[in-house]
Amino acid sequence: MGLNQYLSESNILLGLAAESSSDVIRQLGKTLLKDGYVKESYIDAVINWEKTLPTGLPLDGDVNVAIPHTDIEHVNKSAVAMATLAKPVTFQNMVGPSESVAVKIVFLLALEEPHAQIEMLQEVAGVVQNAGVLKALLAATDPKEVLLAFEKTETDSVSD
């Protein structure tokens, strides 16, 4: 009941070349739109949301993460899309929007009501807190490796 239930190979983009946070959101959002998880309005809604309520998470190591998302009305079914970036892209810090965060891994979240996807959200947070998994994600060249890395964290978190 974890992340892999919401993440498919077709929604994983590795070594993505992107110009800006909006560009990442657009490219990842298209994969969710294509698979029917989100409505036509979703991509613009996330981009606008990011401008007022940014989602960059500065971490301890040299890898920072962003988790763009938006209101539930733009979503058909909960899902996650993930990208590793060829070059870091600037997001603003969630808790302090004036601060820029150089982000290398993006989880684009399509969310329904809060309790529908609590395991998924907790697992994203678990990945964010796990430097080893973040490293494995950055090293991945095939979406299958990403899914495998998440399977391992699920096993780990059982004993948490």
Partner 1 sequence: MIGKKRILVACGTAVATSTVVAKAVEEALEKRGIQATIQQCKASEVPSKAADADLIITTTPVATDHGKPVIQTLAFLTGIGKDAVLEQIIEKLGA
Would you tell me which residues interact with partner 1 (CB under 8 A)?
49, 53, 55, 57-60, 67, 69-72, 94-97, 109, 111-115, 117-118, 121-122, 124-125, 128-129
Q: Quote the least distance from Cβ 48 to partner 1, whole Å.
A: 12
> Whose Cβ is closer to partner 1: residue 95's or residue 158's?
95
The Cα–Cα gap between 133 and 127 comes to 6
User: Which C-beta is closer to partner 1: that of 131 or that of 139?
Assistant: 131
**Residue 93: strand pairing partners:** 56
SS3 assignment, position 122? helix
* Closest separation in Å from C-beta 89 to partner 1: 19
132 Cβ contact list (under 8 Å, min separation 6) = none
Torsion sign across C-alpha atoms 88, 31, 135, 1 = positive
Nearest distance from residue 144's CB to partner 1, in Å?
A: 27
